[in-house]
Amino acid sequence: MARHRQIEFIGDSNTVGYGNLSTSRDCTWDQIRRSTNADVSYGALAARKLNADYQLNAISGLGMVRNYNGGSPDVTYRTFYDRALLNTPGDVWQNPGTWRPQLVVVNLGTNDFSTAVNPGEPWTPDTLAAAYRTAYGEFLQKLRARYGAATTFVAVGHGQFADHVQQVVKARADAGDNKVRYWYLDGSGLDFSGCHWHYSAHDDRLIADRLTSFVAGLPLRW
């Protein structure tokens, strides 16, 4: 039976649960596939704690404007967000009208900033940061148009992009959108023992606990 509460999680491999059941940080692609379990990712765990139905709309390796190590420069996460069939350009997922999340959690930026800009990429550190902030603001506006004024957005910041996310949230507030909240993902106690230094299942549990506590303090009407 469908729950009244609905949460959408938007992100990259950290949201996917990439290699979170691995017993080693060194993984082959086959080991990654076998040890990735989205059902014990922080989003899935948080949704269960909050008694909510959820969607994980996350793709490993993609960023808001730049992908991991500058790969596949002709696409970004935003290229695929609208699609139901990811490999079909122009495809658009048709909301049946039953998906109306009261909460959307966005965690994008690790791939944009975790690797240095390579020679030949069209970025400097400053232009990359500016493009990221602009694209993030536009993406939040797109989500606002999709889900309406009642939905609360949580913009997750950590590592090198935390300050940029804070600036985006402030800009939204200055523009009159008071339902965009910044959440700093506290990395203390995380072991990053999943494949390729991703979150482990232990880390996902810690993050879910911290996110659940933060969400519990939001004025959500659900």
By annotation, the residues acting in catalysis are 13
Q: Report the alpha-carbon distance of residue 156 to residue 209 in Å, rounded.
A: 15
Q: What kind and span of H or E run contains 166? A: helix 162-174
Looking at the DSSP bridge assignments, the partners of residue 9 are: 56, 105
Other residues' Cβ atoms within 10 Å of the Cβ of residue 101: 23
- 162-174 and 125-147 are packed helices; what angle lies between their axes, rounded to 10 degrees? 50
